[in-house]
Amino acid sequence: MTLGILDAKEHSRIIQDFDRVCSQAGIQGHFLYDSMTKYCGPTEVEWVKRFWKFKAEGLSGLALVGVNRPDTRCQAMAAALVRNYVDARVIPVNTLIDHAMNGGTVPSPTVLLVPNLFMVALSKSTPAWRAQIVYDILLERSTKSKPSVVYVENMAGLKSVYGEPFRDFLSRFTAVTE
């Protein structure tokens, strides 16, 4: 097994429990071996490098707006954070809603990455109550200084489905565009 950028000593706990770590983080294993610079742009890299500083300053998170490969970018970012022993998890929006609706506990990692918060093709059938659940989860996280990384296909579409308060909330996130 190749260790890629994992250090056998520094990352021994991750290597020993590799499958569980990947499963909990919601990432494919190869992302733990690769540098996020292979998949992400300079803004995402800087955000991860300066994560603890940004968290201490109370920044809400990162909004990937209209970027290519949001799921890949989210997994690469999560892997970089996990390598630095930060509880980062990639959780699709419907899984978050299911946790909230089915009486389960909504996961509350240090960093939540939602690779599909808003996509135009799926927005036509989004009931208002589902949008409100997601807004509540993200707003609560921000009040607890727990940053989120979200993918939004476009802000105008998000506003029309999720409403102005949600768009305004996301405007406080650092935006990544291509």
Q: Which amino acid belongs to residue 154?
A: N
Averaged pLDDT for residues 123-152? 86
Token pair recorded at residue 131: 């949008």
pLDDT number for residue 125: 64
- Render pLDDT for 68-83 as a digit per residue (tens, 0 to 9): 999 999 999 999 999 9
The span from the CA of 112 to the CA of 140, in Å, is 12
Is the per-residue pLDDT at 124 higher than 80?
no
Residue 7's region, left for phi above 0, alpha for psi from -120 to 50, else beta, is beta
3 lies in some domain: no
Q: Find the domain containing 81 and state its range.
A: 12-176
Task: Express as a percent the part of the chain with pLDDT over 90.
Answer: 64
> In terms of Cα–Cα distance, which of 59, 63, 138, 36 is closest to 93?
138
Q: Which amino acid belongs to residue 69?
A: R
Tally of domains within the chain: 1
Domain CATH for 172: 3.40.50.300
22 lies in some domain: yes
139 lies in some domain: yes
Is the per-residue pLDDT at 123 higher than 70?
no
The span from the CA of 60 to the CA of 99, in Å, is 22
CA 72, distance to chain mean position in Å, is 11
Token pair recorded at residue 96: 């978050």
84 lies in some domain: yes
